[in-house]
C-alpha cells in the first residue's frame, strides 16, 4: 500500500518538494508549479529514473499502475525502459532534420550570412544524399566515411569541412537526445578509415610531417613581420585575420595567454589561446623590433594593419604550393593522426563552436589548461619534428 493519498497529492501540488509513495515511486513538485511522477529502479546495477507523466494528467492510481507495469518490465523481463524511450525518440529524427535544427540554432553566431549558407550548402551537396534520410541516432563512422569518400581526395579541404560539419550535427543530435548512444558523436574517429589526402585544392594544407622542416627554413628566410606572423599562425593554429589584428594589449606574456576579442573571431566569441614556448619566442622576437606608435604585434607598412597577402607572399617566395589557412588543417590532422588528445580539445583550440551550449560554457572555463598541453605538444613537434611520437593525454588530472 502506498504512503500517499489522493488528497495529499492534491495538497502537495502547491508545495515544492519530493513526496515518496513507496517502492521507488515519488511525486516531485518544482518551484515553478510543475509536478510529475517518477519511478526509480535499478537496471544492470545502474539507477534509472523513469518519468510516468505530469501529476496534472496522471492520477495517483494511474501512477501506481504505471509504476507496477514498469517494475515488472525491469525486474522480470530485464528491459531498460529509459534506453528504449531514448531509442524511440532518436529514431524519429533524421540527419537532415538535425542539421537544419543546428543551423537554425546557430544562426545568430555566424560571422556573416554567407558562411551560414555555405555551412548548409556543403551538407546539402555531400552529406544529405546518403545521410539525409537516415536516423541521426544510428549513423556510424562507416556511414560518415561512405558519405565523404567521393570528395575526400577530390577536394581535400571541402572533405575535411564536410566531416567536421557531419560530426558537429551528430554532436548536436546527441545533446538533444536524438542519438541513443551514451557517448557523443565526437567519439566517431571516421578519419582513420579514409585515405591520405593529396596536397592541393582550396586552402591547400602542408602535410604536418613537413611543417617542422618548413619552420626551420622560414626562420632563415628574409623579411620580418610577414615571416613572424606566419610562424605565429602555424604555432597558434589561429586564422590569419586574428593574427594580423593581434595587439600587444591582448598578450599576457607572464602567463602565456593571448585573448582574442569577439569582434575578430569568426564565431563572434572571445577566444583564449595558450602560448607555447615556441609561440612566446616569436612574440619576443617581434617585441625586439616593435614599432613605435602602434599596438599591433605584426604591423604592416607604416604601422598599419598588415595586408592579407603579406603572409601568402612569404609562402609564394619560398615556392610552397600551400595556403596560410591550410596550416589549421595541418594542425588538425596532426592532432587526429599522431596524438591521443580528445577531439573536443582540438576543436576548442581551433575555436570551433560547440553546439551544446551548456557544455560549451563549461569548456570555456575548463579547456584552457587542456589546450595549453596540446599547444605545448604542437610547439614541441614543430621544433623537433618528432613525427612518430604519440602524445598521451592523461585520463585523469587533478588540476582539471
Q: Given its phi and psi angles, is residue 331 left (phi above 0), alpha (psi -120 to 50 degrees) or beta? A: alpha
Alpha carbons 171 and 342: distance in angstroms, whole number: 14
**Residues 284 and 318 both lie in one domain:** yes
In a domain, 85, yes or no: no
Domain boundary among 49, 79, 109: 79
**Residues 265 and 373 both lie in one domain:** yes
In a domain, 201, yes or no: no
**Residues 227 and 275 both lie in one domain:** yes
In a domain, 138, yes or no: yes
List the CATH number of the domain containing 29. Answer: 3.30.160.390
List the CATH number of the domain containing 147. Answer: 1.10.150.130
Length of the chain: 400
Question: Of all helices (H) and strands (E), which one includes residue 244?
Answer: helix 240-244
Q: Given its phi and psi angles, is residue 17 left (phi above 0), alpha (psi -120 to 50 degrees) or beta? A: left
3-state secondary structure 61-96: HHHHHHHHHHHHHHHCCCCCHHHHHHHHHHHCCEHH
The three three-digit cell numbers of residue 216, written as one number: 626551420
Alpha carbons 60 and 8: distance in angstroms, whole number: 10
> Quick one: the chain helix, strand, coil %, rounded to 5?
55, 10, 35
Alpha carbons 376 and 257: distance in angstroms, whole number: 12
Alpha carbons 368 and 400: distance in angstroms, whole number: 9
In a domain, 392, yes or no: no
Strand ranges of the sheet holding 271-274, from the earlier edge strand across to the other edge: 251-252, 257-260, 271-274
Domain boundary among 45, 79, 113: 79
Q: What is the pTM of this model?
A: 0.51
Domain membership of residue 12 as a residue range: 6-79
Phi, psi angle pair for 310, to nearest 5°: -60, -50
In a domain, 394, yes or no: no
pLDDT one digit per residue (tens) for the chain, 400 residues: 578 888 888 888 888 998 888 888 889 998 887 899 888 888 777 787 888 888 888 898 888 988 888 888 887 777 877 666 666 665 678 999 999 999 988 877 665 555 677 788 889 888 999 999 998 888 888 888 888 888 887 777 788 888 889 988 988 888 887 876 544 555 455 656 777 776 544 457 888 889 999 999 998 887 799 999 999 999 999 999 999 999 999 999 999 999 999 888 877 788 899 999 999 999 999 999 999 999 999 999 888 999 888 999 999 898 888 889 889 989 988 888 888 888 888 888 888 765 445 445 544 555 788 899 999 999 999 998 654 344 444 433 333 2
| Total domain count, the chain | 3
In a domain, 171, yes or no: yes
In a domain, 352, yes or no: yes
In a domain, 398, yes or no: no
**Residues 218 and 310 both lie in one domain:** yes
**Residues 284 and 228 both lie in one domain:** yes
Strands 35-43 and 25-29: antiparallel
**Of 190, 185, 179, nearest in space to 134 by CA:** 179
List the CATH number of the domain containing 264. Answer: 1.10.443.10
Alpha carbons 152 and 145: distance in angstroms, whole number: 9
**Residues 260 and 376 both lie in one domain:** yes
**Residues 15 and 105 both lie in one domain:** no
**Residues 239 and 311 both lie in one domain:** yes
**Residues 312 and 179 both lie in one domain:** no
Alpha carbons 32 and 171: distance in angstroms, whole number: 30
Phi, psi angle pair for 57, to nearest 5°: -110, -25
Amino acid at each position: 500500500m502506498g504512503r500517499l493519498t489522493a488528497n495529499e497529492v492534491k495538497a502537495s501540488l502547491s508545495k515544492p518538494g519530493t513526496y515518496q509513495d513507496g517502492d521507488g515511486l515519488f511525486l516531485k513538485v518544482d518551484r515553478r508549479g510543475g509536478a510529475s511522477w517518477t519511478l526509480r529502479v535499478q537496471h544492470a546495477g545502474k539507477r534509472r529514473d523513469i518519468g510516468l507523466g505530469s501529476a496534472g494528467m496522471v492520477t495517483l492510481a494511474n501512477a501506481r499502475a504505471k509504476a507496477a507495469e514498469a517494475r515488472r518490465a525491469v525486474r522480470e523481463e530485464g528491459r531498460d525502459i529509459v534506453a528504449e524511450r531514448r531509442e524511440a525518440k532518436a529514431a524519429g529524427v533524421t540527419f537532415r532534420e538535425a542539421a537544419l535544427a543546428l543551423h537554425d540554432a546557430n544562426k545568430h553566431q555566424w560571422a556573416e550570412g554567407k558562411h551560414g549558407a555555405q555551412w548548409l550548402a556543403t551538407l546539402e551537396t555531400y552529406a544529405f544524399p546518403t545521410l539525409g534520410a537516415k536516423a541521426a541516432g544510428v549513423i556510424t563512422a562507416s556511414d560518415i566515411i561512405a558519405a565523404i569518400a567521393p570528395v575526400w581526395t577530390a577536394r581535400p579541404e571541402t572533405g575535411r569541412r564536410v566531416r567536421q560539419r557531419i560530426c558537429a550535427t551528430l554532436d548536436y543530435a546527441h545533446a538533444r537526445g536524438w542519438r541513443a548512444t551514451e557517448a557523443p558523436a565526437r567519439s566517431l574517429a571516421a578519419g582513420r578509415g579514409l585515405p591520405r589526402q593529396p596536397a592541393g585544392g582550396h586552402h591547400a594544407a602542408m602535410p604536418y610531417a613537413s611543417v617542422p622542416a618548413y619552420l626551420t627554413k622560414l626562420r632563415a628566410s628574409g623579411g620580418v613581420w610577414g615571416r613572424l606572423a606566419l610562424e605565429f599562425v602555424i604555432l597558434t593554429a589561429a586564422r590569419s585575420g586574428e593574427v594580423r589584428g593581434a595587439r600587444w594589449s591582448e598578450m599576457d606574456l607572464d602567463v602565456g595567454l593571448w585573448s582574442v576579442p569577439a569582434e575578430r573571431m569568426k564565431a563572434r566569441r572571445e577566444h583564449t589561446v595558450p602560448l607555447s614556448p615556441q609561440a612566446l619566442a616569436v612574440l619576443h622576437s617581434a617585441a625586439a623590433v616593435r614599432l613605435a606608435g602602434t599596438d599591433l604585434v605584426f604591423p604592416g607598412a607604416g604601422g598599419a594593419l598588415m595586408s592579407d597577402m603579406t603572409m601568402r607572399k612569404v609562402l609564394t617566395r619560398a615556392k610552397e604550393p600551400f595556403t596560410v589557412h591550410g596550416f589549421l588543417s595541418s594542425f588538425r590532422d596532426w592532432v587526429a593522426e599522431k596524438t591521443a588528445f580528445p577531439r573536443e580539445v582540438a576543436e576548442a583550440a581551433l575555436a570551433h563552436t560547440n553546439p551544446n551550449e551548456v557544455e560549451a560554457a563549461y569548456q570555456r572555463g575548463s579547456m584552457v589548461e587542456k589546450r595549453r598541453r596540446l599547444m605545448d605538444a604542437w610547439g614541441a613537434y614543430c621544433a623537433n619534428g618528432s613525427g612518430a611520437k604519440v602524445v598521451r593525454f592523461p585520463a585523469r588530472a587533478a588540476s582539471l
